[in-house]
Structure 1
């Protein structure tokens, strides 16, 4: 009888732990919208397919990106030559990751949805958003998908091409190149020991926020901002990686990238990233609690065995 009461109590504790985790994890339910409505101000959404997709894979991507009526979207293909044009990439590179870009009203910000997170192995939605802000993209909803496992870098080139084919929306090539450098640096840093993609995104976003606030005039000013953020976020980098960060943001300074114009989008992105980092901390805490109770249950079971 006592044993049964104990098991019931343990089950209740487990439910409470789960409830607390969900409450603190910041999980949000997707809201329903009218996805079939065309924004007459900006025209139909643009869907960019990777050039290496087979016919079957392209059909799969269409389903993933909710392309049910091709007449309601503008379809283009991203090729290896586009890698050369936009980011000085390899013309022979394979292109699989694809994207759907729906321009939004001014002030809507950049919303990135990775439809196939299991197949986009390196680039996170926050990394995409950061790079797109650097490139000059704003106020758009971007859906990314791939039928196979890929890093996700080529989708960024596809997004650039989607903007270049629109009237009056051409992007500055120097900015797209430095945005690609930013994405490469972000994914490389995320592979370092003691780092993860959320922490890297938080670092990059908060550096941009400080640049917008301080308007650094020299490379030394950039270095001071980078060092302060590394210290504040308790991030330890090698001297080589630290210098890569400084060089990257100094390039942005020379390009006169004005992050003031996207301050609200940076603020929203920073808040999202901070929430993800906090969720990861909370999840680790609750896992420790669950492990503790499991050990307790196992210990009591051993008494009765």
Structure 2
């Protein structure tokens, strides 16, 4: 009897480690939030029925009693950010609006299928476009770069009556292109690129540059601070990008707290590169010890 009790206890411990914390969460019994509105789901037009079904599972759409659903097309890509209207759209998103001051939180549900854009890159671009106070979940059932998910977010906001400036959306898309291109061409870690963009925005908020030369100096200072070496061409792309933002009078001071929080999170990624390796070792060690313990009580 004692052995059975110990085995049951060991089983409970194992389940606690294996099942995600949200597995027993409410699946919609909380009802509809009339203040914030329904969750929004935007599916890529190119998804087959089976792929769409899979994305629905990944985004946990069925946990909500009701959702507003939309489809994003290549023509939307052209309308919102000047992309190719013949593009195939696969990236899909779920958006949960939050109260003012909550901030912008991004989760890439399928990181293996979003090959170029990180959640920090999404956050930076969305803040540039003027999107705040939401939880955004990105998923794709096939491997894609992840750029088109931005269009789905923009379409969802417009459909819900939130006006976003088209020029800011186009600049945000350009920012995403620059970020992924620099990371790919220069071999710089994506987290470092995201931190660079965030620190430049923070410096712009603090210094309020009045000329292109001042923007160029800010870019150069942050490259030096982060010990990042870029080609003259990539350096110029950054200067041109942030000069566009200055011309549009994008006020990053309004989201400075969010930028501070984003920068801190990115720095944690940069500093803790070996974290998951350490965690994996610790978990393996735990389960090995647990297996030895179980063997000892049943033998």
What is the alpha-carbon distance in structure 2 between the residues aligned to residue 67 and residue 132 of structure 1? 22
- Aligned counterpart, 1:257: 250
Cα displacement (A) at 1:40 = 1.9
What is the alpha-carbon distance in structure 2 between the residues aligned to residue 114 and residue 188 of structure 1? 20
TM-score (normalised: structure 2): 0.82
Cα displacement (A) at 1:192 = 2.6
- Give runs of aligned pairs for residues 116-135 of structure 1, distance below 5 A: 116-135=110-129
Superposition CA RMSD, Å: 1.9
TM-score (normalised: structure 1): 0.80
Number of aligned residue pairs: 257
Q: Classify 1:89/1:57 alpha carbon distance in 2 versus 1 (closer, same or farther; 3 Å).
A: same
- Give runs of aligned pairs for residues 32-71 of structure 1, distance below 5 A: 36=28, 37=30, 38-68=32-62
Q: Which runs of 5+ in 1 are unaligned?
A: 1-28, 287-305
Cα displacement (A) at 1:71 = 5.5
- Aligned counterpart, 1:280: 273
Comparing 73-82 with 60-69, which one deviates more in the overlay?
Answer: 60-69
Cα displacement (A) at 1:253 = 0.4
What is the alpha-carbon distance in structure 1 between the residues aligned to residue 210 and residue 155 of structure 2? 32
- Aligned counterpart, 1:208: 201
- Aligned counterpart, 1:80: 74
Misfit runs of 4+, over 2 Å: 29-39, 281-284
- Give runs of aligned pairs for residues 170-189 of structure 1, distance below 5 A: 170-189=163-182
- Aligned counterpart, 1:229: 222
Q: Secondary structure at the match of 2:185?
A: coil
Q: Deviations over 1:207-260 (max 9, x none)?
A: 000011111111111000000000010000011100000000010001010111
Which of 98, 123, 130 is residue 92 of structure 2 equivalent to?
A: 98
